Structure 1
Amino acid sequence: MRWLTILIGVFLVSPIVAFSQVDKNLGSFPESAAKGYIQPLVDVMGANLNSGLYHTASMSKFLGFYVGVKGMAVFVPSSMKKFTAELGSDYNPSRVETATVFGDKDGGAKTKYGNFPDSVKLPGGIGLKLVPLAVPQVSLSTMNSELLVRFVPSIKINDDVGSVDLLGIGLGHSISQYIPMFPINVAIQGVYQQLKIGNYLKATALNVNVHASKSFVFFTLYGGVGYETFSADINYSYKPPIPIADIIKTISFSLKGKNNFRATAGFKLGFAIFDLNVDYSIGSVNVLSAGFGFSF
């Protein structure tokens, strides 16, 4: 199982390693502000997880098998690095512009809590400019249909993050088989995924798409359009900045990713049993995706 341990080393590389710091940072925000602080992470995670689901619309009539790794990345735009925090009436000022989870590490604004004279500095971000993801992916096709699986068993990352596990199931079906002599392959696909990171985050992702491809010997062009959702349940402990008391409140809330529609275009190179693909998706959050695997 050493290969799986190595794979988990790159699985959700930056977000997971940094999530322990994100959880600590959230502990300084009341719920009203915590939602805005972590929303960009939810948006990016959803866009990443719903990427790399296909690299061809061709499905085997008899038996086809693919095993590989899909990598995705979002370049964090400047619009995701700051937000206006609504801190509530206990703070003065109660409304400040400050760093999001992706903002500068020293980008936290200053405010005051209650009647205490000392200023309170809000946490900064984790300073990520690129948010990557890597997941194992296996698919089995027969009778012009396809079963896709993404699976990572529960594996402990470290004491701060805890365990991470992922399960994704998808079904695809060829549409072009019903159109005689159609010049390109066309398929529909639906994929449902569940992701858990420690006790901090539980998330679900859904993607439904139509995609097409055209092959030229070793080269395949593909693209598609899809509808997707991503929702995350967040849990954290909030400690108000009261120097004379140790008050901790457990807070839970849910957020939805803003990516709903996407258009994807890419290409695949195939050499014997080796497949290499690259694509780019445009939506509310843009994603670059690549994959390497073996097809039989």
Structure 2
Amino acid sequence: MKKLTLILSLLITTCVAAQQNIDNLLAAGINDAQRFATAYMRPASDGLVYSMNNGWFNSGKAKKLFGFDISLVINGAFVNDDNKSFILNTSDYENLQFRDGSTSKEVATAFGDIQGAVVVIEGDSGIPAIPSQDAEFELPTGLGSSNINFVPTAFLQASFGLIKGTEIKARFFPKVTTNDADVGLYGFGIQHEFTSWLPADKLFPVGISGLIAYTHLDGSYDFTDTNIVDGEDQRFENNTNTFLFQLIGSTKLPVFNVYGGLGYLTGTSTTDLKGTYRVQSGVISQETIIDPFSIENKTSGVRATIGAKLSLAFFKMNIDYTLAKYNGLSVGLHFGI
């Protein structure tokens, strides 16, 4: 649990590498720092949205009236090589320039590992009596240096059968604090089996359902005590909200079943840099900045899932794989009737 919380905390901030360079990034000015952070963070934010939407279903058959189960679900969304870097064009920035004179260069995202991209910023204190201080630094790498190329999520999930063909679901990841970070998740969903209304429902060995689900994640990471930048109450805060619309089909056999689905998801992830910062160099040297910027990433896409489920009395387990912009793997253990 602690390792999962730490990985999620790294993803909803800008990873340890970006945190260690926050003073440097702010030296380029708030607009440049925000623009770079948005591109740098996008794969982590998008991957989180896709990972959060995995694991909502394992059958096209809805539970019977008062049927229920409690599940432990573990997901991962994989980041492909195309999302491990982006092209930084200096014409899109106000103050960032590459030291070697290049006007564009491939640099790392939060999941990349590209080293040696050094930028320079001409200083401007804005005060005649205070000399300007130029800034020169290497842009941050990402989690690729640690061979991490996936976004994990995990939670407890409960399902309960209501009226004919209708099942409600809820998921929860308790807010856990570790290493100055805390992350929590919750969600709700409703699934309805269309085939439950067919006259030959008992004889028809296939279940077809529709699912609508909402998931919310929020977290923060306090790095005030790291002494990276002079200031107070320095932290990242993240809020991610997603919706999933899914069509599901499965076999309805006693022990072993296969299932699949076609769906569409949409999500918004907002990360705020909060606190007070006193930058010592660059275009805003000697200035005090409060709550520098907010990053908003939106993503949406189609997904297709295929999986299998094994049922043994009160115990069930499933595994499935999802094809999407960020492919995903989900494993679930279930107890109930």
* TM-score (normalizing by structure 2): 0.77
Counterparts in 2 of 1:152 and 1:73: CA distance versus 1, 3 Å? closer
Equivalent in 100, 105, 108 of residue 99 of structure 1: 108
**SS of aligned partner of 2:252:** strand
**SS of aligned partner of 1:265:** strand
Counterparts in 2 of 1:253 and 1:76: CA distance versus 1, 3 Å? closer
Which residue is equivalent to 2:73? 70
The alpha-carbon deviation at position 22 of structure 1 amounts to 6.0
Equivalent in 139, 142, 145 of residue 159 of structure 2: 139
The alpha-carbon deviation at position 205 of structure 1 amounts to 0.9
Counterpart residue type for residue 173 of structure 1: H
Contact map agreement 1:35 1:255 (CA 8 A) in 2: yes
Indicate the RMSD between aligned Cα atoms, in angstroms.
2.4
Comparing 113-122 and 247-256, the one that deviates more:
113-122
Equivalent in 12, 23, 34 of residue 31 of structure 1: 34
The alpha-carbon deviation at position 23 of structure 1 amounts to 5.9
Counterpart residue type for residue 223 of structure 1: G
Is residue 2:246 matched to residue 1:253?
no
Contact map agreement 2:44 2:151 (CA 8 A) in 1: no
Contact map agreement 2:72 2:156 (CA 8 A) in 1: yes
| Distance in 1 (alpha carbons) for counterparts of 2:3 and 2:334 | 16
Comparing 217-226 and 8-17, the one that deviates more:
8-17
Comparing 112-121 and 57-66, the one that deviates more:
112-121
Which residue is equivalent to 1:4? none
Equivalent in 10, 15, 22 of residue 8 of structure 2: 15
Which residue is equivalent to 2:95? 90
Counterpart residue type for residue 102 of structure 1: F
Please show how residues 112-261 of structure 1 align to structure 2 within 5 Å: 112-114=120-122, 119-127=136-144, 128-143=148-163, 144-159=165-180, 161=181, 163-181=182-200, 182-198=204-220, 199-236=236-273, 242=281, 245=286, 247-248=288-289, 250-257=292-299, 259-261=300-302
Question: Which stretches in structure 1 are left out of the alignment for 5+ residues?
Answer: 1-7
The alpha-carbon deviation at position 268 of structure 1 amounts to 0.3
| Distance in 1 (alpha carbons) for counterparts of 2:280 and 2:40 | 18
Counterpart residue type for residue 40 of structure 2: Y
Contact map agreement 2:205 2:252 (CA 8 A) in 1: no
Which residue is equivalent to 2:43? 40
Counterparts in 2 of 1:279 and 1:92: CA distance versus 1, 3 Å? same
| Distance in 2 (alpha carbons) for counterparts of 1:241 and 1:86 | 25
The alpha-carbon deviation at position 38 of structure 1 amounts to 0.2
| Distance in 2 (alpha carbons) for counterparts of 1:10 and 1:267 | 28
Counterpart residue type for residue 293 of structure 1: H
Deviations 1:128-154 (A, max 9, x none): 223322111111112221111112343
Counterpart residue type for residue 316 of structure 2: D
Question: Which stretches in structure 2 are left out of the alignment for 5+ residues?
Answer: 26-32, 124-132, 221-235
The alpha-carbon deviation at position 95 of structure 1 amounts to 4.2
Is residue 2:81 matched to residue 1:58?
no
Percentage of identical aligned residues = 26
Structure with max Cα Rg: 2
Counterparts in 2 of 1:76 and 1:272: CA distance versus 1, 3 Å? same
| Distance in 2 (alpha carbons) for counterparts of 1:16 and 1:292 | 25
Aligned residues: 285
Counterparts in 2 of 1:31 and 1:254: CA distance versus 1, 3 Å? same
Deviations 1:43-91 (A, max 9, x none): 1101100001000121233221111111111232111111123561212
The alpha-carbon deviation at position 108 of structure 1 amounts to 5.5
| Distance in 2 (alpha carbons) for counterparts of 1:36 and 1:102 | 12
| Distance in 2 (alpha carbons) for counterparts of 1:219 and 1:66 | 17
Contact map agreement 1:176 1:186 (CA 8 A) in 2: yes
* TM-score (normalizing by structure 1): 0.87
Contact map agreement 1:111 1:121 (CA 8 A) in 2: yes
